[in-house]
A and B are shown apart, each in its own frame.
Chain A
Amino acid sequence: MLDKIMKTQLFAWVDKRTGAEAIIKSQLTEYPAPKNLNYMWNFGSLALLVLVLQIITGIFLVMYYKPSAEATLGGFTVAFDSVERIMRDVNFGWLIRYMHAVGASMFFVVVYLHIGRGMYYGSFKAPRELLWIVGVVILLIMQGAAFFGYLLPWGQMSFWGATVITNLFGAIPVVGELVSELLRGGFAVGDPTLNRFFSLHYLFPLLLVAIVGGHVHALHVVHSNNPEGIDLHKPEEMIPFHPYYTIKDAFGVAVFLLFYCYIVFFNPQMGGYFIEVDNYVPANNLQTPAHIAPVWYLTPWYTILRSFESKLLGVAAMGASLGILFLLPFLCKSAVRSARYRPMYQIMVIMFFVDVIILGYCGHTATTPVLKVVGQLATAYYFLFFVALPFLPKFEKTRPVPEGI
């Protein structure tokens, strides 16, 4: 069908002025992709879909949302009220709000699976180091956007979560207090904070669009890795991206939408994980909720933060846990990419995934002495994983890697 369009006169007119045919050929119809990619390779396109969904639902929400912490009659605020108005009075407002809130969590589900694929199959190794690094930048911007967005409903969890995180920066020596004040626009989280977080929440996803463009460009230069982790040279090992992976991605989108729509229509709160119970209570700056925790997708880093007695050490460790991701391509010195052929790395990386889940669990649950120790052990393994990587090739007996696929 695409070739029928490309034969029309209209297309020839557009192509003469844009070079569209060359682009379509080089990026789609003649773009070589390994023929053995499994479904773990679907998550990149799914992440792009969710980004687009978030932007569209976000734009429509902004038509009614008001970023003001000013009080209204009845002890509420303009911002909180505007969200309730969207839920009750705006036509289909409830749907757009649920799509956006559920979409935020699904964005992280998809991206974490995408990252997991990269770690397991060695997609971060040469020549894809910069691709991985741009990806880590995307993760950080996503976390920022989610954090800013979470303040906007101005519920109890919004307010107190923002208070905790902006106070964190105060731990940084010398500039810490200044940074906190700069973020908050005042001495405590308040109306100035809300307004600037709204501006930044609008900005970050649009920055993401540009950076994702860079991410895909970097990918298209070095081409995709594959589950075997080997470099593919023979033409019969490759298939054109269009139509094979466009249709496979479309199928992945359909399955994703099935899950997504089930959640949006039948269980948007997901037991308080996607939309937290405490956030249905309007923010009260004189009363902290019994149990503050960030949203589930930020909990692993919360545990790392809380594992240290010293506030500064906790902040440093949290920063280091994100920073060390940038170093992964340079820490891993193995000649073999895919965990399929690296028995020690395979165990270690699976343990790493389990470790992050444990970190997440500890971050979300109220601290007990046992959980605190579990969190500390999990934090230790998190860093141990990266520190051990350069030494692995000395001990690991890699399995023989196939010649082709």
Chain B
Amino acid sequence: MTDQADQSRRNFLYVAAGGLGAVAAGATAIPFIGSMMPAADTLAAAKTEFDVSTVEAGQMVTIQWQGKPVFVVHRTAEQLKQLDGHDESLKDMNSEAIAEVQQPWMDTPEKRKFRAIKPEYLIVVASCTHLGCIPLFKPSAGRKEWGDSVPDDWPGGWHCPCHGSYYDISARVINGSPAPHNLHVMPYKYSSDTIVVIG
């Protein structure tokens, strides 16, 4: 009935039409899936301004940036000293593991320890890198204030209530925690001595 030449032409037409149809279907899918990407006005809400002088010494506030919670901690000199002496217990003491835990201005070992442009003000994303809960602020070292909820060599920092991750007072994750990384540091800069622009 149909000879070989006919059949190969038929096959060619099938493949050509089918291939073109697949390309057309893919091209049609692009606007629909694309429409699910953040809209222009959502993207415009990408920066937050904050006046750090409103945070008292030793105090932590939680603000919002891109819908996420952000810790701003005004660390005292004593609290900064709590950053030494426990390097072996940190998973990533120099914040080198992934891009999100470091910023270009961390160019000295000291900057990598303090994890802040101005050491007294730590600004990090308040989302535990395990599954996203907001960790509890437990700044004083030892068990005096926190009891058994922290280990006996507690250097001060954060403790996540959901699955028990621990971070030091530079938000660096401590060994034994389910969380894989330090709390993320987002791009920010000081537009004046006290105003920080996050994002």
Contact = CB atoms under 8 A, between A and B. Distances in A.
Tell which of A60, A63, A89, A91 has the most Cβ of chain B within 10 Å: A91
Given A56-B32, A92-B32, A85 B41 contact: yes
A64 B32 contact: no
Tell which of B31, B35, B36, B42 has the most Cβ of chain A within 10 Å: B35
A91 B34 contact: yes
Interface string A1-19: 1000000000000000000
A1 B36 CA distance: 35
A339 interface: no
A85 B39 contact: yes
A64 B39 contact: yes
Contacts, number: 37
A63 B40 contact: no
B199 to A, nearest CB: 19
B37 interface: yes
Interface in A84-113: 85, 88-93, 95-96
Contact of A63 (B31, B34, B36, B41): B36
B14 interface: yes
B39 A1 contact: no
Contacts of A88: 40
Contacts of B41: 85, 89
Given A56-B32, A96-B32, A91 B14 contact: no
A258 B106 CA distance: 57
A92 B34 CA distance: 7
A90 B18 CA distance: 32
B14 A1 contact: yes
Interface string A46-68: 00000000001000100110000
A96 B31 CA distance: 8
Interface in A61-89: 63-64, 85, 88-89
Interface residues of A, number: 14
Tell which of B14, B34, B37, B42 has the most Cβ of chain A within 10 Å: B34
B8 to A, nearest CB: 14
Interface in B27-58: 30-32, 34-37, 39-42
Interface residues of B, number: 13
Interface string B1-36: 000000000000010001000000000001110111
Contacts of B14: 1
B77 to A, nearest CB: 47
A85 B41 CA distance: 9
A92 B36 CA distance: 9
B35 A93 contact: yes
Contacts of A90: 35, 39-40
B35 A89 contact: no
A250 B171 CA distance: 61
A88 B35 CA distance: 12
Contacts of B40: 88-91
A82 to B, nearest CB: 11
Contacts of A64: 35, 39
Contacts of B37: 91
Nearest to B15: A1
Nearest to A97: B35
B126 to A, nearest CB: 28
Contacts of B18: 1
A91 B32 CA distance: 9
A66 to B, nearest CB: 13
Tell which of B14, B36, B42 has the most Cβ of chain A within 10 Å: B36
A1 B40 CA distance: 45
A63 B41 CA distance: 15
Contacts of A96: 31-32, 35
A235 B78 CA distance: 96
Contacts of A85: 39, 41
Tell which of B30, B31, B34, B40 has the most Cβ of chain A within 10 Å: B31
Nearest to B38: A91
B39 A92 contact: no
Tell which of A56, A88, A90, A96 has the most Cβ of chain B within 10 Å: A90
Contacts of B35: 60, 63-64, 90-93, 96
26 contacts: A1-B14, A1-B18, A60-B32, A63-B35, A63-B36, A64-B35, A64-B39, A85-B39, A88-B40, A89-B39, A89-B40, A89-B41, A90-B35, A90-B40, A91-B34, A91-B35, A91-B37, A92-B30, A92-B32, A92-B34, A92-B35, A93-B35, A93-B39, A95-B31, A96-B32, A96-B35
Given A63-B36, A89-B42, 5 more contacts: A60-B35, A88-B40, A91-B31, A95-B31, A96-B31
6 smallest beta-carbon distances between A and B, as pairs: A92-B31, A89-B40, A89-B39, A90-B39, A89-B41, A91-B34
